[in-house]
Amino acid sequence: MAEWKKNDRIDVMIEDMSETGEGIGKTDGFTWFIKDTVIGDKVQAKVMKTKKSYGFAKLERITEPSFNRIEPKCPVAGPCGGCQLQAMDYGEQLRYKERKIYNNITRIGGFSEVPMQPIMGMDEPWRYRNKAQFPWGLDKDGNIVTGFYAGRTHSIISCEDCLLGIEENQEVLRQIKAHMERYHLIPYEEASHKGLIRHTLIRKGFRTGEIMVCQVINGNSLPHSKELVERLLEIPGMTSISFNINKERTNVILGDKVENLYGPGYITDFIGAVKYRISPLSFYQVNPVQTEKLYGTALAYAGLTGVETVWDLYCGIGTISLFLAQKAKKVYGVEIVPQAIEDARENARLNGLDNVEFFVGKAEEVLPEQYEKHQVYADVIVVDPPRKGCDEACLNTIVKMGPKRVVYVSCDSATLARDMKYLAENGYKVEKVRGCDMFPQALHTEVCCLIVKA
């Protein structure tokens, strides 16, 4: 094996991308991680650090740019670090994500064939986020700034127009900054735990056009809030204005208490035909356009005709449950966070859907318990677990219940592949796999799969 020393120069062809967005290439079978490169780049880099079988190198020069390399649209794409794929053409981003799903399913799942359907991308892969949280701070010269934390640090990169966010963010931030300057309100500083103005939370219902602003403060009241409300109401669509109290020394953005300043305390939005009430503290998918496609695919894969009993595990605020309830006889949802279940029940009421029932608890406990005690039945089981995937106790009960269809919605194709393998070894067959790009310009990919009883 070749020996590399710090500061050695290497020539590398970038062939893949890591979980954290570094380009990956090889020299003599040795793997290098190199930041700020894209697949297809030929680069010269300087060795920084080596381990047994891999190392890190610093990009010095792109000797031959990738065919797919483009100029990032956002001026702070590099330092911000939120969009790891901006220098990659969008078509190539989709191919990369699709390949990753395929590779994980074949390598980790051990499948030789993967019935892939084309990944669902966005026609317009910008300004898709309906939610933004901007921190406030002071720059070196004492000017008020807002933007994003650089990488994993706590220094703010000034940016009032994130290209993934809505255009209205800029005007909201301009008004809040003017208000701070006019009334000498000081941005919160983590180190000293002093200053009043913490993050500004902005949300928009894409289908309704309703906008919400919630200002987080390190105090009990927001001075001259009446004037701020007047200013913010000049922005078309402004529906809900509030402040949130967070006096904790924490990097958790929102505190528990919300004080309403204007409007009903929530905005409304739709995914498909289902209506959702969104308050500052409630969870809601950040890319509603792609959410509708993803959950629409889950619904299609469920193959409902109106007579089925469905379990929706890891149901969150019940987005999928309510989607399914429109076409099923009965839907049971299971979710670990009690507040999410409160929202799910509220949303069911709001939509007049009375064929859904929710359980608070761990999927791997609630499902076995219900099965053991009441021999509950399912025609279809939908799972949408967090990145770590499903617990084996949960998969084991699914297998015992023996539904005709399992619809697996995943945000991590590696754990998906592991769980698919388990189901395939226990009488199930993978019938369809389809990626959905919920986060254009960033690394994560969602996948929806149909797994049927063999």
Q: What is the binding site for ligand SAH (CB under 6 A)?
A: 314-317, 319-320, 334-337, 340, 362-364, 384-386
We find the least distance from the C-beta atom of residue 441 to ligand SAH, in angstroms, to be 21
Minimum CB distance to ligand SAH smaller for 232 or for 340: 340
We find the least distance from the C-beta atom of residue 447 to ligand SAH, in angstroms, to be 13
> Which residue has its beta carbon closest to ligand SAH?
316
We find the least distance from the C-beta atom of residue 387 to ligand SAH, in angstroms, to be 9
CA distance 348 to 213: 25
Token pair of 310 as six digits: 């469905």
Neighbours of 454 (CB within 10 A): 11
We find the least distance from the C-beta atom of residue 334 to ligand SAH, in angstroms, to be 6
Name which of 452, 453, 410 is nearest 434 in CA terms: 410
We find the least distance from the C-beta atom of residue 163 to ligand SAH, in angstroms, to be 25
Token pair of 214 as six digits: 């919630």
User: What letter represents residue 246's amino acid?
Assistant: N
Minimum CB distance to ligand SAH smaller for 202 or for 366: 366
Catalytic position from the list 74, 394, 411, 449: 411
We find the least distance from the C-beta atom of residue 365 to ligand SAH, in angstroms, to be 8
Minimum CB distance to ligand SAH smaller for 14 or for 334: 334
Surface-to-core class of residue 192, CB atoms within 10 Å of its CB (0-12 exposed, 13-18 middle, 19+ buried)? exposed
The binding site comprises: 285, 314, 335, 384
Minimum CB distance to ligand SAH smaller for 168 or for 335: 335
The binding site for S-adenosyl-L-methionine comprises: 285, 314, 335, 384
Minimum CB distance to ligand SAH smaller for 243 or for 323: 323
Is 394 part of the annotated catalytic residue set? no
Catalytic residues, by residue number, are: 411
